[in-house]
Amino acid sequence: MLSSARFRQARKIIPLVAVLSAAAGAAYGTLVASEPARGALQGMVSAALIATPAALFEVAVMRGPWGFRLRRSSFTTIVLVRSLAYLAAILCGLLIGDALFGRPRYSLVPLSGSLLRDFGISFAFSLFFNFFFEVNSALGGRVLRDLVSGRYHRPRIERRLILFVDLVGSTMAAERVGPTRFLDYLAEFMADFADPVMATRGEIHKYVGDEVIVTWPAEDASASRAIACVFEFADRLRARGDAYVTAFGLAPAFRAGLHVGDLVVGEIGVWRREIAFLGDAMNVAARLVDTARAEAASFVASSEAVADIALPVGVIARPLGKQALRGRTTEIEVVALERKAA
């Protein structure tokens, strides 16, 4: 699912980036060239030659296994590596685009002023966008866009799927490996969860201690994607179990609870703003993790969340009956989601 998700993303993003960049390059070429028509054409070609490999780098590399490891580096390291990759794309794009036209404007020896100017402007834009992308990533999902647009400046009611994922045995793990190594262990666990969330178009809402909260808009196929996300994560942890044991002396496990319902979504805070999700549905999803613990299950969901959906291949819903949730007077129907027995 992860590779196919990256392919779908590449198919959507790369043509759009190439077209938008070509338009910006044409406008820039018109402004700086002595022959506006030729400058527009050269600017369009050069911009497309720069943007296409840069977009491929983002989708194929930064969203792939190598980028997965890089994303555990510091903010500055990520921006620097990205900028160096963009630097190479910019230099090649400018020189190749220039060579395709009969009268080259650039030279490396001696270094021409036009190459230095165009390269400097392109690199400045790449640094700006890299910084923007990393800030957006640090805030999570679409938070920066929503804060800038004011989408949730006034509270709104939205129907969402809510998934709580809890690291099992965190107290024991912290005692066993020590607080510093435990944070590394928890960071590794959360990083392994990131790709399945991205692949299924989920949004990481918040990390709360050893828990993570993910949401999806309650629309067609969202519940199936949310369930697939959890089982992708389980498969990933199973595949990397030996690596965890080598690094930390133990392999992680998790419990998860999934529910659907209306949430009040809005901005909260002054000096530090975030988008808050409030409502009974959030509380139910959190309590379902307790139900999973009590029922010795890894993944449970409310019947409402999985009603009338196509479960992923190989997954079954085992009824657990009506369950009383802590702090709630009304019982709800719950199912355990499991792999079908071989």
* Rounded Cα gap, residues 178 and 321, in angstroms: 40
What angle in degrees, to the nearest 10, is found between the helix axes of 179-199 and 170-177? Answer: 130
Question: How many structural domains is the chain composed of?
Answer: 2
| Lowest mean pLDDT across 90-94, 190-194, 251-255, 299-303 | 90-94
Residue 152: DSSP 8-state? T
Q: Which residue has the higher pLDDT, 53 or 134?
A: 53
Those residues with Cβ within 8 angstroms of residue 228's Cβ, 6 or more apart along the chain or in another chain: 1, 196, 200, 312
Q: State if pTM tops 0.75.
A: no
- On whether residue 40 sits in a domain, the answer given is yes
Average of per-residue pLDDT across 145-173: 87
Those residues with Cβ within 8 angstroms of residue 136's Cβ, 6 or more apart along the chain or in another chain: 143, 144, 145
Verify that 177 and 325 share a domain, yes or no.
yes
Burial 53-79 (b: 16+ CB within 10 A, else e): bbbebbbbebbbeebeeebeeeeeebb
CB atoms within 10 A of CB 181: 15
Q: Which residue has the higher pLDDT, 237 or 130?
A: 237
When the pLDDT of each residue in the chain is averaged and rounded to a whole number, the result is: 82
- Boundary residue ending a domain (105, 139, 173): 139
Verify that 181 and 301 share a domain, yes or no.
yes
* Rounded Cα gap, residues 247 and 65, in angstroms: 18
Verify that 183 and 305 share a domain, yes or no.
yes
Contact present, 337 and 301 (Cβ < 8 Å)? yes
- Return the pLDDT at 14: 66
Please say if the pLDDT value at position 105 is more than 90: no
| Lowest mean pLDDT across 7-11, 53-57, 170-174, 227-231 | 7-11
Which domain range does residue 282 map to?
A: 150-339
Verify that 189 and 289 share a domain, yes or no.
yes
Verify that 85 and 225 share a domain, yes or no.
no
Band of residue 245 on the pLDDT scale cut at 50, 70, 90: very high
* pLDDT tens track for 270-322: 777 788 889 999 999 999 999 999 999 999 999 999 987 888 888 889 999 99
Q: Which residue has the higher pLDDT, 66 or 323?
A: 323
Band of residue 23 on the pLDDT scale cut at 50, 70, 90: confident
Verify that 81 and 187 share a domain, yes or no.
no
For residue 201, give the 3-state DSSP assignment.
coil
- On whether residue 159 sits in a domain, the answer given is yes
Q: What percent of the chain has pLDDT over 70?
A: 83
Band of residue 1 on the pLDDT scale cut at 50, 70, 90: very low
- On whether residue 314 sits in a domain, the answer given is yes
| Lowest mean pLDDT across 3-7, 111-115, 323-327 | 3-7
Residue type, 303: S
- Return the pLDDT at 2: 44
- On whether residue 44 sits in a domain, the answer given is yes
| Residue-level length of the chain | 342
